[in-house]
Amino acid sequence: MPSMHTDKAFEADLRDLREKLLAMGAKVETLIVQSMKALTDRDSALAEKVVAADKDVNRLEVDIDELCRKILALRQPAASDLRLITTALKIVTDLERIGDLAVNIAERSMDLNQAPPLAPYVDTPRLAELAQRQVRMSLDAFVSGDVAKAEEVLRGDDLLDALFLKIFNELLAYMMEDSRNIRRATALMFIAKHLERIGDHALNVAEMVVYMVRGKDIRHPQSRNLAE
């Protein structure tokens, strides 16, 4: 991360920004865990709490946006500090979308809880663990300015995608075996897709960390070279 500034007010703003992003990240991580617990424990009351908690994520998004605008207007950051602010503005959007996806999972859980469970939810809980890990590592990489950790997130996305495909095929098989499974299997497919999308947003955060530290945009595959 950038070195300490002689301008203590500027440094305080940057510290506040990092702390708010970490708080938002911790919040969406909690929502992922709770939304999956609502599914596996068939706890619709917990699912409703996840839906209600989305407003806290939205409030943090607004607070962080306002803080970034304040820093840009009053501090006129340059070089690495400017990349930090632009990275934060992009990361906050990904975190907000992760919160929305956790809410979507909670809503699907409430629907599934009205019917008997379909098998042991196949590997969906494992997929959720991988997605949460990706989110945590990408945020750790941001806070520490650790490109190596960001690159680990980039590599980890392949494992998450492979598990999603496995779950999709297993659920498809359930649907083909018995038409009575279709509605529940479809709902689980949506949940698995939401988790895969959470992984994609964590990937976006990791890519922005590489930009923040190296000044190199690797969002498109042809521009990505982890060895550099």
Quote the tokens at residue 32: 């992922």
Write out the two tokens for 34. 């709770």
Amino acid of residue 143:
V
Which residue, chain included where needed, has tokens 């999603």? 164
Q: Which two tokens stand for residue 170?
A: 């297993």
Mind listing the pLDDT tens digit for each residue in 114-128?
A: 988 877 677 899 999
Phi-psi region for residue 84, left (φ > 0), alpha (ψ -120 to 50) or beta?
Answer: alpha
22-35: average pLDDT: 95
In angstroms, the Cα distances linking 150 to 23, 46, 136, 202 are 19, 32, 11, 10
pLDDT surpassing 50 at residue 227? no
Residue 108 Rama label (left phi>0; alpha psi -120 to 50; beta): alpha
Cβ atoms of 91 and 211 within 8 Å: the answer is: no
User: What is d(CA 156, CA 152) in angstroms, rounded to the nearest whole number?
Assistant: 6
**Domain 4-214 part of CATH 1.20.58.220:** yes
- What span, in angstroms and rounded, lies between the C-alpha atoms of 215 and 78? 12
Contacts of 204 by beta carbon, 8 Å cutoff, 6+ apart: 90, 91, 94, 219
Mean pLDDT of 194-203: 97
User: pLDDT value at position 1?
Assistant: 46
First CA to last CA across the chain, in angstroms?
19
Contact between residue 199 and residue 137 where contact means Cβ atoms under 8 Å apart: no
CB 38 within 8 A of CB 106: yes
Whether the predicted model's global pTM rises above the 0.85 cut: yes
Mean pLDDT over 3-21 rounds to: 79
Burial 88-120 (b: 16+ CB within 10 A, else e): bebbbebbbbbbbbbbbbbbbbbebbeeeebee
Average pLDDT, the chain: 89
56-73 pLDDT, tens digit per residue, is 999 999 999 999 999 888
DSSP character for 181? G
